[in-house]
Amino acid sequence: MKIYYTDDHLAHHPKAEVHRGKMVTPHEGPHRMDLLMAGMKRAGFTDFTEPPAFDITCLDGVHTPDYIHFVQTAWARWKDAGYAGDVLPMSFPYNPRRAKPPIEIDGAAGYFCSSADTMITETSWTALASTAACALGTVESVAKGESAFALIRPPGHHAGADYMSGYCILNNAAIAAQALLNKGMDRVAILDVDSHHGNGTQDIFYARDDVLFASLHGEPDHHFPYFWGHKDEKGAGKGDGYTLNYPLPAGTHYPAWRNALLDAIAKIRNFKPDALVVSLGVDTFERDPISSFKLKVEDYPAYGADIAKLGLPTSFIMEGGYGVPEIGDNAAGVLKGFSEG
């Protein structure tokens, strides 16, 4: 399996985040890649491929032009306004928001953001372009009938068409799915196994029937991002029935989690997609500091083997997993289980 990776991820390095009323060292930072890379190498994955060149047109159909412009220009506008530190909004619109963002950067930052843990730094665009390029690399592999992994940070599944959230600024899983459709595939499924609901991915494809989105995640009354991911969210218009949510209670252990996974896999099989995109968050681990599920190291190869039974060329996109050395072992475990399953 090809693994797409680049050191450009280092260009996104926020200095702090707001977490439960305090400014703290970000849970999502370059240190995560050190943990991921160490685990991959322990598992025998040592061959990493540079991604293809980034093509900004890959964002068409995923993110709005206004949002892309904001992400590209936010830092310069922030500094021109005389503000210090990373781009961090201080005010957020109460829905429904107006169709036009404020001109002033502080207002624009709040308009295009839904949580105070997501910052833009001077060189963030370099890192973000590299994550999208890695996602496109997996698409090149999948188009040949192969599977591949984008070993990237920051993650992407909380980023909607026109907002950033939960450390996520560009939605790499959505970029991969749209690129597969652009290559002529009729149907693509996205399976999100991160412990947090992939609200951005859901929003992007909610009214479409060419992408089936299935997410296993913490019950939203108690789990970030809180406002999305209820079981009755099933899609709208043409997309009605093409969104599948599996909210699970805090403390869920692997047998119950796997039951939800197997149901999602069965529905993906019935959808008959041409390819699969997996939002691979490993923050389901029992010792993850910002999640609440109870999966163990040995569970990750097991569910990788379950996913392999679909027999689909698969693009794995790295999402969450924080603060413990096992995040690398668990990501590698899913890939090993998939490859050997």
Instruction: Please indicate whether residue 115 or residue 73 has the higher confidence score (pLDDT).
Output: 73
Give residue 176's pLDDT. 98
pLDDT digits (tens, 9 = 90+) for 139-194: 999 999 999 999 999 999 999 999 999 999 999 999 999 999 999 999 999 999 99
Stretch 268-293: mean pLDDT: 97
pLDDT digits (tens, 9 = 90+) for 19-68: 788 888 899 999 999 999 999 999 999 999 999 999 999 999 999 999 99
Paired strand residues for 150: 4, 317
pLDDT band at 299 (very low <50, low <70, confident <90, very high): very high
Give residue 24's pLDDT. 87
How many of the other CB atoms lie within 10 Å of CB of 134?
31
pLDDT digits (tens, 9 = 90+) for 75-98: 999 999 999 899 988 888 877 777
Catalytic residue chosen out of the listed positions 158, 196, 197, 217: 158
Paired strand residues for 87: 120
pLDDT band at 102 (very low <50, low <70, confident <90, very high): confident
Give residue 181's pLDDT. 98
Say if residues 287 and 325 touch (Cβ distance below 8 Å). Answer: no
Residue whose tokens read 């379950």 = 306
Segment among 5-9, 21-25, 104-108, 138-142 with least mean pLDDT: 21-25
Give residue 205's pLDDT. 98
Tell me the average pLDDT of the chain. 95
Say which residues have a Cβ less than 8 Å from residue 202's Cβ, sequence separation at least 6. Answer: 213, 215, 228, 229, 233, 243, 245
Say which residues have a Cβ less than 8 Å from residue 151's Cβ, sequence separation at least 6. Answer: 3, 4, 5, 33, 36, 37, 40, 48, 134, 318, 331
* Domain 2-57+123-340 sits in CATH 3.40.50.280: no
Give residue 334's pLDDT. 98
Say if residues 2 and 313 touch (Cβ distance below 8 Å). Answer: no
Say if residues 167 and 28 touch (Cβ distance below 8 Å). Answer: yes
pLDDT digits (tens, 9 = 90+) for 211-237: 999 999 999 999 999 999 999 999 999
- The residue count of the chain comes to 341
Q: Is the pLDDT of residue 100 over 90?
A: no
Give the helix ranges, DSSP H, for 83-161.
Answer: 105-111, 124-143
Q: What's the whole-model pTM score?
A: 0.96
- Which letter does DSSP use for residue 11 in this model? G
Give residue 96's pLDDT. 73
Q: Where are the beta strands (DSSP E) in the chain?
A: 2-4, 17-19, 22-24, 148-150, 188-192, 211-218, 243-248, 275-280, 314-318
Indicate the domain borders of the chain: 2-57+123-340
Is the bond preceding residue 96 a cis peptide, omega within 30 degrees?
A: yes
Is the bond preceding residue 289 a cis peptide, omega within 30 degrees?
A: no
- 158 included as an active-site residue: yes
Residue whose tokens read 């890939």 = 335
